[in-house]
Structures are given as structure tokens and as C-alpha cells.
Amino acid sequence: MNKIFNTSGDCKPDLHYMVNIDHKLQQIKLMIDRGDYFTINRARQYGKTTTLKALRRCLEKEYEVLSLDFQKLSYQDFQTEPNFIRALSKEILKKPFIKREENPWFARNLEHFIDETIKNPRMSDLFECFSRWCQKSEKPVVLIVDEVDSATNNQVFLDFLSLLRAYYIDRDETPAFHSVILAGVCDVKNLKRKFVADDEHKYNSPWNIASDFLVDMSFSADDIEGMLKEYDADYRTGMDTRKIAKLIYDYTSGYPFLVSRICKLVDERVAADSGKVDRKAVWTREGVLAAIRILLTEQNTLFDSLINKLEDYPELKEMLQDLLLNGKEIIYVVGMRSIEIGLMFGFVAKENNHVIVANRIFETLLYNLFLVSSDMQQHRIYGEALKDKNQFISNGRLEMEKVLEKFVLHESFLEEDGRRYFLLYLRPIINGEGNYYIESRTRNMERTDVIVDYGGEQFIIELKVWRGDSYNRRGERQLSDYLEYYHLEKGYMLSFNFNKKKTIGVKRILVGDKMLVEAVV
């Protein structure tokens, strides 16, 4: 049976096309070899479980690996210490290596904890059992716990962490786990805040022993190309694997779920929707962009999770709106709640000490969400775009110059609203057929570059606030250079001029060998 691209659960090498993560596993193994205790915190569907399972296989020759998943424990299991010890013991007893002949005493101890006649098994008893196991084991013992988020909002998990810490500190005298890995979305320091009452204000975490985890778990363009080459070897599509990998990376910044989802949509949906059963016809730039359009209109668990977080954390939503709609530069500040939440859930990333949206897919998703909210759809300019839409599409091609000519007739917005309402005007025109995103390298309060993909063509529109002729000429040169980078001959400038004496309209100018269409509103 042929492999498939997978976006449901962990990836299995025999069943799924996968990025080769051996180099990442070796970086993690180096931390384990030196005995680090650490946490792998990444956003939802970032490949944590797949990585942990691969890591377990990588370690088994040199280490005894106890791999647990807290998601298998129920809410009730975390309510009391005895409940937690019994549930955890049952999970450990399911592991095949626990019942080997050399570990009969360990199994008996765990069965003792499960015995209902034992009224109050204690966490300290469980850890003494762990310690004895670590002492008797021929190989160092590594503990891996996935889905630690399932343990939030309870004291039992704090006690579990505290004993891990205590044994770590005394491990020169008392046998303990050689290395411990906790994996989840939230880091334990953030979890600590949920455990204490509002009036206690205690932020010290029992997991302050953790080493920094700096392994990049995102996929590079080279990583993606390796996966595509494996696929191409099976189907012989003749695709330009380097070009397609780079395009996928440009839109996803290597977010594992998004990479796999786009590949899966190209392979399974784009061909079916276009009637092209030949895979050679869809592994192209146009095929990838078609997959991205499908992705941005579907419901999936990742998008649902992200959108729910906007409702749960109003300060996060406000920060993202400032970043996207108002063009606000946000400097990374350690400890600022909105930023830390955005980083934790994967909405944003740090780049040159600035906060940026993590990838183009999330950016477009958020723009669509913010711009096409119910109150924004009531705005007159959105209705005008819907009414005028057919004027801008000719033989399947987007007439961007006509879009600007029509848009400059609208003046009912404030200085800070200009870019927002242009994107609101553009959205229904390209809806369903095109993609757009904001080039993060040029986003600021005065200048934003919108890049539109439509019908196989690419359009670059520089949006800026008018700051005089010299500033405008500098902007023309910058846009010309930018067009050169994208190998385009024609670009567009939209200036929001709030001077009373201004000339509204659209004109063409030549800068070097580049044609610029300049619109002033």
C-alpha cells in the first residue's frame, strides 16, 4: 500500500510521507546524554508526539525509556494523590518492558499501589519505587511525558513536579531518572499561574531546573524537499521539488501541520477538484496555491483551536489586530502576557526582537477573520466591492489597476483605517480564487506591502501614508527593487494622502525598467 500525507495524529514511517528529523533527534539526544531535564513546548499539531515516538525508538538501545501520555488519564485521576498514583501505575504496567523477568519487584510495587485495600498510596512511595528501579536498571532510565497540559489546574501535578525536582537535585546521592522530558503546549511556568489563588501571586515553578530547549522543530525548505523527493520517487511526477518545497515553506514557515496539510490537499483534493487524475499536472505552483485556497476555507482542528484562543485571551486578539490592521510595530518584551500567549500558541514568532505573525497562512486566516467579521461586512466599502467585483476580472485575470482606480473614489476613512479598508475592499474581489498576504519585512506604521496571488499571477501593492514627494520617490525606488526581487515588471502603489490639498487619481510612471501604477486617495 502506498504511503499518504498525514495530518491526523502522529506520523508513522511505514504509513506516511515524513520529513526526516534524524538531525533534530540527535540534538535532543545530546541533551539526554548529558542528563538534562527539559520541556518541549510547541503549539498544537507541531509534531511533538511524532518526535517523541521517534525519539523513544532512537534511545532504546542505550536507555530504558518510560514513555507516558497524560492524555490517557482522566480528569478524576488528577483530583487526588491516590487517584493519580493508581492511574499512573496502571499506565506504566501496560508497558511491555515492565513485566520482564528482571523487573518483577517493580511490577509488584505498582500492583501494590493499585490495590484498593491500600487506602492512601503516597507520591513519595511512588518516587521511592522509581528511584529503586533507576538504581537496579542496567541502562539509565529516561522518563518522557506527553500532553502535560492535561494535568493543568490541580495540585497533584505540582507535587509530581516537585518530587521530580527534588530527586534531580539529590541525584548525586539518590538514584533518579537520568533525564526527564515533559511535552505540551504550555510550559510548566505558565501552568503554575493556574494552580495558585489570585491573591497568592506565586510564580516560582518547581520546574525551574529545566534546561532550555532550543531545537528548531519547524521544517526547513530542505526538510520539505526531502519528503517531496520520497513522494516523487513513488509517483514520478517530475515536479521541481526544490521550487515546490520553497513555495510551501514561504507560506507555512515550516509549521509541520500546515506543510503536511498542503501536501495532502494537493495530492488528494486539487487533482479531484480539477479532474486531473494525473499527479504530474497538480504538483505545480498553481496546484499548491489551489491547495492553500482550500486550506483557508476549511475547518480543521488547528484553526479551530487558534480561533478559540482569541476568545479566551482578549489581550491576544487586541495585539494581533494592532499588528495586522493598524500596522503597529511590536517590540518583543519578556513577560508581556499578550506576546507570551501568542508565542505559546504559535500565532506569532520573534524576528530581530520584533513580534511577527508566525506564517502567511495564519496571517491570511486572521485577516479574513478580522476583516470579514459581521460588523466589518456592514461597511459600505465591502458592499461596493461585492457590487463591482465583475468589473475587475477579465478572462480569469485580475485587473489590479482597475481595482485601484475604483478604490480611490472612496474617502470615508481615517488615517489609521486606510490599509484596513483597502484589504476589506480587496477581500471579496479575490475571494475563492486568490490569496493575499502581507510581507512582514516591510510592515510598519507607514508602509505595508500586500502580495496577491491570483490566476497564476502575482501582484505587489505598496500601501503607505503620504509623507511628501521625497518620501514618495524613495518608496518608488524601494518598490522597484522589490519587483526585481520577485522578478516582476509591474507594481502598484497606493498612497493615503490626508492633506486637504491633494490630487486624487491613478497614474503610471516608469522607474528604471519597472512600470509603477500609483494611486492616491
| DSSP characters over 97-119 | GGGSTT-HHHHHHHHHHH-TT--
Tell me the average pLDDT across 307-335.
90
Mean of pLDDT values over 118-144:
92
**Whole-number average pLDDT of the chain:** 87
CB 36 within 8 A of CB 179: yes
Residue 414 burial (C-beta neighbours within 10 Å; 0-12, 13-18, 19+): exposed
Comparison of pLDDT for 205 and 176, the residue scoring more:
176
Q: Is the pLDDT of residue 225 over 80?
A: yes
What angle, rounded to 10 degrees, do the helices at 301-312 and 337-345 form? 170
Spacing of C-alpha 366 from chain mean position:
13
Residue 445 has a pLDDT of 43
Using the predicted structure, report yes or no on whether residue 146 has a pLDDT greater than 50: yes
Answer left, alpha or beta for residue 514, where phi above 0 means left and psi between -120 and 50 means alpha.
beta
Please determine, for residue 448, whether its predicted confidence score (pLDDT) is greater than 80. Answer: no
First vs last Cα of the chain: how many Å apart? 59
Q: Are 234 and 3 in contact (CB under 8 A)?
A: yes
Q: Please answer whether residues 174 and 167 qualify as being in contact, where contact means their C-beta atoms are separated by less than 8 angstroms.
A: yes
The dihedral sign for the CA sequence 308, 311, 315, 317: positive
Burial code (b: 16+ CB inside 10 Å, e: under 16) for 213-222 equals bebebbbebe
pLDDT at 258: 98
Cα–Cα nearest to 456, from 332, 336, 297, 289:
289
Residue recorded with cell 500609483:
518
Query: For residue 191, what pLDDT is reported?
Result: 55
Q: In this predicted model, what pLDDT tens digit does every residue of 479-489 receive, in sequence order?
A: 898 898 888 99
Quick one: pLDDT at residue 383?
81
The amino acid present at 521, given as its one-letter code, is: V
Tell me, rounded to whole angstroms, the distance of Cα 343 from its chain centroid.
9
CA distance 417 to 406: 17
Rounded CA-CA distance 369/91 in Å is 42
- d(C-alpha 155, C-alpha 44), whole Å: 24
Of the candidates 211, 253, 206, the one whose C-alpha atom is nearest the C-alpha of residue 27 is 211
Kindly indicate the confidence band of residue 410, based on its pLDDT and cuts at 50, 70 and 90. confident
Query: How many H helices and E strands in the chain?
Result: 21, 14
If you count them, how many residues does the chain have? 521
Residue type, 79: Q
DSSP per-residue letters across 174-224? S---SEEEEEESS-HHHHHHHHS-TTT-----TTTTPBP-----SPPHHHH
Instruction: With a cut of 60, say whether residue 413 has pLDDT above it.
Output: no
